[in-house]
Amino acid sequence: MPLNYSYVLNAVGGKDTLSPAYGEGIRMALGTLADCGDVDWLADARALDIPFNGPPDAVAAAFKEMATRWKLDINVVPAEGRKKELLIADMDSTIIGCECIDELADMAGIKPKVAEITERAMRGELDFESALRERVALLKGLPLESVARVYAERVRLNPGAKVLLRTMRANGAYCLLISGGFTYFTSRVAADAGFDGQQGNTLVDDGHALTGKVGEPILGRAAKLEALERAASERELDLFETMAIGDGANDLGMIQRAGLGVAYHAKPVVAEAAAAAITYGDLTGMLFLQGYREAEFVKG
């Protein structure tokens, strides 16, 4: 990336959605707002960068309608320091494609009731800690075999998760999974996806079934932010060298504090507050945001 440009407009689509004509159209539109360079393709027909000098917030706002119309993830990031040294990621509906507590509730036959509380908490309408206690209380008596079935039958990594983790770790980054969900799942998902570490809440059981209690203190929004700051401090990293990704209101603290905070298929309150958003693409969009080329991806 030429050093005489301060910002980069990054555009990522689904497979084969970005033709050269689309790329040139984006460059021409950017050229009406700022001094910009040429299109730099990070992945043929999928992802591109265009460097520019100009007001980043105004450029980002101007491309919102185009992003929606063309179903592209279009974000503006600083040109310098794009590749991050620390990734902190939410689990449910971010690294995996479900909310584990809702799937546990389905096993107990009460999914609609619990899912409604989950949705309100994710939108920021309910205090996360109180909402978690309320939902876990409803799971009292659920056999541990049902917890194991949820992981075996319903927990699946979202597309691009393994490539994201393998590529960042191969380039020296530390990757931490942190969740308001439960360690039964975070420990397994972290191992499967390839995280360096993990944190979550604890479901209390009596050896046979859930007791309806959750271990205290509850890991919520403040704890996620603290985990980001602690992990950066332990590795002597400036927060600009970090990135965070999540989809719900309890992720906002870390998303807004990280050097690059990304909303992933997120609730509106999160998408509006985050510096960047992945709305249409998969988790490899996190690599394109950092300027990685598809040829640099570690796929297996």
- Please indicate whether residue 282 is annotated as part of the active site: no
Q: What are phi and psi of 51, to 5 degrees?
A: -75, 150
Phi-psi region of 219 (alpha: psi -120 to 50; beta: other; left: phi over 0): beta
Helices (H), the chain: 20-31, 56-62, 64-70, 100-107, 111-122, 128-137, 144-154, 161-170, 183-193, 221-234, 252-257, 268-273, 285-289
Question: What three-state secondary structure class fits 45?
Answer: coil
- Please indicate whether residue 92 is annotated as part of the active site: yes
Give the whole-angstrom CA distance, residue 184 versus residue 128. Answer: 19
Given 49, 90, 247, 251, the catalytic residue: 90
Given 73, 92, 102, 282, the catalytic residue: 92
| CB 106 within 8 Å of CB 163 | no
Give the whole-angstrom CA distance, residue 111 versus residue 93. Answer: 16
**Active site positions, annotated:** 90, 92
